[in-house]
Chains A and B, each alone.
Chain A
């Protein structure tokens, strides 16, 4: 008997984004095309955490924004809980927005400085008209407690909190509508070491408790290691490798992934070593030569382990 394939919480199919930037110095308005994201395929299963890793300019943030339709893709499709949301208009999209939420890196600018914390966390309920105002505030306070803030904080303002506390508020606000998908764009990058650990633990706990799926975007592989089930590595707008997290750490095949792992600072001084830093061309030349349908395609080298390959 066939097991029905579970519908992924988020699926990106052949997602691409091209920005047209004005070109300087010419008489007629000319633009250069900048391919920020090219042909990204990602599946975020239900109840799982997927890490999207890359350095600045890799396209990871743009991909995350497209997944939420905060940036309109140039081509490709986005499916949330099985529904194709790529071309829905605002009216049709609004109720679906409850299923997808976001947490950003800068918690300070993500919170309206003129609103109290309880108002901030209750705002999504207000926007989607859920419950009476009193119920909304009560839900907000309860959610704040779930994220580790005492409910007496409800009447405080964002500027009174530390970075870690603000990030908790942002997470509470994102989760109050019980979304299926949470896109977290570098939520721990601006935090101190000890606070990073708190937020990572918080995300792990809430994910397990609420059964939500998280697309965790980060440049910090160490954080990704402690948090995610699978990792997709992006470089130059494309996914170059994708596998279970420990597989990536133990057996990365793509030279860019290897370079990224190699660059992580050691955790003990005795592990200090000389490093080889490859240039872009060197990385390109070392991409595994594997038979595949076409150059630049993702090829499966082991179950669940995909690597971008070129024709030999």
Chain B
């Protein structure tokens, strides 16, 4: 097991490095620089000086190594679009809203989705199943900004129960969390339903019935335990993906989160921020997958405990 973890950590480092190189090159492959926009046109001489001041005239590989050296010291540079703070300070400011809303969305949506999936599996091919599956499909196919819009229309405009936007009071968090919860809920509903149906068809479930075990115990003790194994691996990566913010939800609800920066940093050629965001996500996903695999190995007796005796 130790050997396995060490091996995976090495591959995380490798992945990280490879991604950083690829992203850096792609970033600079996009034509234009941070000062080419039309809102504040500058002449070429000024542009050259500005670029030089940011080190953008140096050869690419020098720029790369300088930046990565900084990364190793947790110095991600200064965002071009917000020179008054460091990238780290920007992240510290902008991430918590995304984390709170997105994270809550997953933490609420996943269990709801699991319940929906269980209901669908147990009442297979009845109206419960069709309704739950339809709900789940909608959650995945309807774009999240449409969901956000509908939530605003219904709860803020028509019913007037909740505010349409804002970040100040927890009250205003309810709708964006609901919007964030849609995809996790739908994903988990589908996964749970098919995982459970898979297990329900296995021979050992018939044997359990033949032993006279109550249906309730069969479902909650045996079927869920077996169905949960594949679902464990899905959770952490999904959490990371949602907790880093959605540009659409945050735009619709005017939440000052991280989502917007993903796109703006590309548009504005904000290289330090762009790199930092992508490296952060890459690292978190790698660790998430590693943890998932370890947990799976611990929970599955076939891997945890050896073979034949």
Query: Do chains A and B make direct contact within the complex (CB under 8 angstroms)?
Result: yes
CA distance A29 to B2 in the complex (A): 12
Asked if B2 and A27 sit within 8 Å, CB to CB, the answer is: yes
For residue A25, CB closer than 8 A to chain B, the reply is yes
Determine how close the nearest CB of chain A comes to the CB of B56; give it in whole angstroms: 48
A25–B2 CB distance below 8 A:
no
A residues within 8 A CB of B307? 24
User: Can you name the residue of chain A whose Cβ is closest to the Cβ of B306?
Assistant: A24
Q: How far does the Cβ of B4 sit from chain A's closest Cβ, in whole Å? A: 11
Distance, CA A29 to CA B306, complexed state (A): 15
Query: Which residues in window 19-66 of A have CB below 8 A to B?
Result: 24-25, 27-29
CB atoms of B3 and A27 under 8 A apart: yes
CA distance A286 to B12 in the complex (A): 58
Complex Cα distance, B306 from A27, in Å, reads 15
The 6 A-B pairs with the shortest beta carbon distances in the complex, nearest first, are A24-B306, A27-B3, A27-B2, A25-B306, A24-B307, A29-B3
Interface residues of A (CB under 8 A from B): 24-25, 27-29
State the CA gap A28–B307 with chains docked (Å).
19
**How far apart sit A28 and B2, CA to CA, in the bound complex (Å)?**
10
A29–B6 alpha-carbon span in the complex (Å): 14
Q: How far is the CB of B309 from chain A (nearest CB, A)?
A: 12
Shortest beta-carbon distance, A5 to chain B, in Å? 45
Q: List 7 A-B contacts (CB under 8 A).
A: A24-B306, A24-B307, A25-B306, A27-B2, A27-B3, A28-B3, A29-B3
Give A176 Cβ to nearest chain B Cβ, in Å.
Answer: 38
Distance in Å from the Cβ of A19 to the closest Cβ of chain B? 14
Q: CB-CB < 8 A to A28: which residues of B?
A: 3
List of B residues within 8 angstroms of A25 by Cβ: 306
Provide the B282-307 mask, 1 if CB < 8 A to any CB of A, else 0: 00000000000000000000000011
Q: Inside 8 A of B2's CB, which chain A residues have their CB?
A: 27
User: Considering the chains assembled together, what is the distance between the CA atoms of A29 and B3 in angstroms?
Assistant: 9
From A24, which residue of chain B is reached at the shortest CB distance? B306
Bound CA–CA A28/B3 (angstroms) = 8
B3 to chain A: which residues have CB within 8 Å? 27-29
Q: Shortest Cβ distance from B257 into chain A, in angstroms?
A: 44
CA distance A244 to B307 in the complex (A): 39
Q: How far is the CA of A28 from the CA of B4 in the complex (A)?
A: 11
Q: For residue B307, which residue of chain A has the nearest CB?
A: A24
Measured CA separation A209–B3 after assembly (Å): 59
A140 to B2, CA, bound (A): 56
- Bound CA span A181–B95, Å: 71
A27 to B1, CA, bound (A): 8
Q: Which residue of B lies closest to A23 (CB)?
A: B306
Docked CA distance A24–B308 (Å)? 12
Chain B residues within 8 Å of A24, by CB? 306-307
Contacts of B306 in A (CB 8 A): 24-25
Roughly how many angstroms separate A25 CA and B307 CA in the complex, as a whole number?
11
Interface residues of B in 216-261 (CB under 8 A from A): none
Of all chain B residues, the one with the shortest Cβ separation from A26 is: B3
Q: Tell me, rounded to whole Å, the shortest Cβ–Cβ distance linking B10 to chain A.
A: 15
Complex formed: what's the CA distance from A222 to B291 in Å?
54
* Chain B residues, Cβ within 8 Å of A27: 2-3
Binary CB contact string for chain B from 1 to 38 against chain A (1 if under 8 A, 0 otherwise): 01100000000000000000000000000000000000
Q: Across the interface, which residues of B come within 8 angstroms of A29, CB to CB?
A: 3
B2 nearest in chain A by CB position = A27
Min CB distance, B305 to chain A, in Å?
9
A28 vs B7: C-alpha distance when bound (angstroms): 12
Residue of B nearest to A21 (CB): B307
Q: Shortest distance in angstroms between B239's beta carbon and chain A's nearest beta carbon?
A: 32
